[in-house]
């Protein structure tokens, strides 16, 4: 019969290998490269974009009202 403890030990060993192996290094390096690339871009957070879009809508409405009043 299969021993459940055997599978637990194998799982723990495999997790240890993956955590300390090349896959972990690759993930860390990929994250660093992506972060560096995004830092070079002129990006804004979604919340900031929404606030600016609302302000633009208000300004456009106000401008239209001022133009109509002329």
Phi, psi for residue 56 in degrees, rounded to 5: -65, -40
User: In this predicted model, what pLDDT tens digit does every residue of 8-59 receive, in sequence order?
Assistant: 887 888 777 777 777 777 878 888 888 888 888 888 889 999 999 999 999 9
pLDDT higher at 6 or 49:
49
Q: Is the pLDDT of residue 2 over 70?
A: no
How far apart CA 25 and CA 18 sit, in angstroms, is 10
* The pair of three-digit structure tokens given for residue 24, joined into one six-digit string: 């972990």
| Coil/strand/helix, residue 30 | helix
Q: What is the pLDDT of residue 15?
A: 78
Six-digit token string for 64: 């239209």
């Amino acid at each position: 019969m299969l021993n459940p403890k055997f599978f637990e030990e194998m799982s723990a060993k495999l997790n240890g290998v993956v955590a300390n192996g090349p896959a972990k290094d690759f993930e860390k390096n990929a994250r660093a490269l992506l972060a560096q690339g995004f830092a070079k871009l002129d990006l804004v957070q979604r919340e900031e974009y929404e606030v600016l879009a609302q302000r633009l809508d208000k300004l456009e409405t106000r401008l239209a009202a001022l133009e109509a009043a002329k």
